[in-house]
């Protein structure tokens, strides 16, 4: 069966192909009656515009790309984060009749710039959603903007004045979590920092310090250890903290994977969570509900953020206005089972 084309529809509706095109693209200047006739023809013929032809003529691919750090680069890959982003972007794409092209990449690769440029030019991406920590890498951002491809960054750390971005209130919410832990009586609250390349997690560290200060606690260098956002690094950091003399009574890790690693180490060492140790994470990925005990964490609205990013992106593409702006979608505390009052004798 030869696919039905715009000509078939035009013939059946008794109009020119241009009018069909107008209806399909919701352009103005078509009488309601005509629109109805065309729509009917489209329905009976089950017509679907050919994207390739559309793309060629309009110089748009109706494809947007989601670029993120390749999870398989880590010992134990984390997947919940990526899936959430994908879901969010997909939702926006579906609504706007765009398709999503995913592209995990190794950002440490020397030729990452060329790779991205090739991807964009080859696939004719209409826009790009850039996930952290890629969203903080000047080289990558430059490679994209040089091709004039619209770009939205997720959770960028630095300044975002002349670009599109969506982020959450990392700093404030981390201060809140820290204050919450302090309010439970904890005095030695440790912090596991994240990926040093990921600027948003730097803000989380700042929030931790804010929270400490506002609770009248002093920050101690030995209570802050550096992870890389991976589960394994959480285990390593947790072990180090818990084996020190005068270990913390609470550990706040700046993502869930690391917090889950801490939880595992505590279990292994026979430390009772939350009675002897409180543990908190950040993200609220599925893993936070698969640990024992269930993880207290910060619910980052990742899917909503990704969706919003894609909406802004597509909006900018269709209106051709180089929009600018930063949307912030607030995170919230989720208290589950891994946090509790500080142990009394441990002071």
Partner DNA sequence: GTGAAAGCGCTAACAC
Partner DNA sequence: GTGTTAGCGCTTTCAC
297-299 and 278-280 strand pairing:
unpaired
347, interface contact from a copy of itself, DNA, none, CB < 5-8 Å by kind: none
CA distance 207 to 254: 11
CA distance 156 to 201: 10
292, interface contact from DNA, a copy of itself, none, CB < 5-8 Å by kind: a copy of itself
CA distance 127 to 288: 32
Does residue 50 bind DNA (CB under 7 A)?
yes
We find the least distance from the C-beta atom of residue 116 to DNA, in angstroms, to be: 19
For residue 285, how many C-alpha atoms fall within 13 Å in the half-sphere facing its CB? 21
Helix (H, G, I), strand (E, B) or coil at 109: coil
Please check whether residue 312 is in contact with residue 128, taking contact to mean a CB–CB distance below 8 angstroms: no
We find the least distance from the C-beta atom of residue 322 to DNA, in angstroms, to be: 18
The set of residues, in sequence order, having a beta carbon less than 8 Å from that of 153 and lying 6+ positions away, is 130, 135, 141, 160, 163, 164, 165, 166, 309
CA dihedral 168, 172, 173, 174 (to 10 degrees): 110
We find the least distance from the C-beta atom of residue 119 to a copy of itself, in angstroms, to be: 9
Q: How many Å is the maximal CA-CA distance in the chain?
A: 87
30, interface contact from DNA, a copy of itself, none, CB < 5-8 Å by kind: DNA
Does residue 54 bind DNA (CB under 7 A)?
yes
Does residue 261 bind a copy of itself (CB under 8 A)?
yes
- C-alpha 17, offset from chain centre: 41
160, interface contact from a copy of itself, DNA, none, CB < 5-8 Å by kind: none
Does residue 147 bind DNA (CB under 7 A)?
no
Does residue 57 bind DNA (CB under 7 A)?
yes
We find the least distance from the C-beta atom of residue 60 to DNA, in angstroms, to be: 7
Cβ distance to a copy of itself smaller for residue 97 or 324: 97
The set of residues, in sequence order, having a beta carbon less than 8 Å from that of 257 and lying 6+ positions away, is 78, 229, 230, 231, 234, 281, 283, 285, 287
Does residue 48 bind a copy of itself (CB under 8 A)?
yes
Does residue 5 bind DNA (CB under 7 A)?
yes
The interface with DNA within residues 26-45 (CB under 7 A) comprises 29-31, 33-35
Element (H, E) at 83: helix 80-96
| Tokens matching residue 28 | 């103005």
CA distance 170 to 328: 10
Which range, of 52-60, 136-144, 196-204, 271-279, touches a copy of itself by CB under 8 A? Answer: 52-60
Q: Which of 292, 324, 335, 347 binds a copy of itself (CB under 8 A)?
A: 292
Give the interface with a copy of itself as residue ranges (CB under 8 A).
3, 48-53, 55-56, 61, 63, 71-72, 76-80, 82-83, 86-87, 90, 97, 99-102, 104, 118, 121-124, 231, 260-261, 263-264, 267-268, 286-287, 289-292
Give the interface with DNA as residue ranges (CB under 7 A).
3, 5-7, 14-19, 21-22, 24-25, 29-31, 33-35, 47, 49-50, 53-54, 56-59
């Amino acid at each position: 069966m030869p696919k039905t084309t715009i000509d078939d529809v035009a013939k059946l509706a008794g109009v020119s192909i241009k009018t069909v095109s107008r209806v399909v693209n919701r352009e103005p200047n078509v009488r309601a009656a005509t629109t109805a006739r065309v729509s009917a023809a489209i329905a009976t013929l089950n017509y679907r515009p050919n994207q390739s032809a559309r793309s060629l003529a309009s110089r748009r691919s109706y494809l947007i790309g989601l670029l993120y750090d390749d999870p398989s680069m880590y010992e134990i890959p984390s997947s919940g984060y990526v899936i959430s982003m994908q879901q969010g972007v997909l939702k926006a794409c579906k609504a706007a009749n765009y398709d999503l092209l995913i592209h995990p990449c190794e950002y440490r690769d020397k030729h990452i710039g060329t790779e991205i440029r090739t991807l964009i030019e080859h696939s004719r991406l209409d826009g790009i959603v850039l996930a952290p920590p890629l969203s903080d890498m000047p080289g990558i951002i430059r490679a994209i903007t040089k091709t004039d491809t619209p770009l939205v960054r997720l959770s960028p750390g630095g300044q975002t004045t002349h670009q599109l971005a969506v982020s959450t209130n990392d700093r404030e919410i981390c201060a809140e979590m820290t204050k919450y832990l302090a309010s439970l009586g904890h005095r030695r609250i440790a912090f596991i920092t994240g990926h040093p390349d990921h600027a948003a997690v730097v803000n989380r560290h700042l929030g931790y310090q804010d929270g400490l200060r506002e609770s009248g606690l002093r920050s101690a260098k030995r209570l802050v250890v550096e992870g890389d956002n991976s589960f394994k690094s959480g285990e390593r950091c947790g072990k180090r903290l818990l084996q020190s003399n005068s270990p913390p009574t609470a550990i706040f890790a700046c993502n869930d994977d690391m917090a889950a690693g801490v939880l595992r180490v505590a279990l292994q060492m026979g430390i009772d969570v939350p009675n002897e140790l409180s543990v908190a994470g950040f993200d609220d990925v599925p893993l936070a509900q698969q640990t024992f005990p269930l993880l207290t964490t910060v619910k980052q609205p990742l899917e909503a953020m990704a969706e919003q990013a894609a909406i802004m992106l597509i909006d900018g593409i269709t209106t051709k206005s180089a929009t600018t702006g930063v949307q912030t979608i607030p995170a919230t505390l989720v208290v589950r089972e891994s946090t509790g009052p500080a142990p009394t004798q441990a002071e």
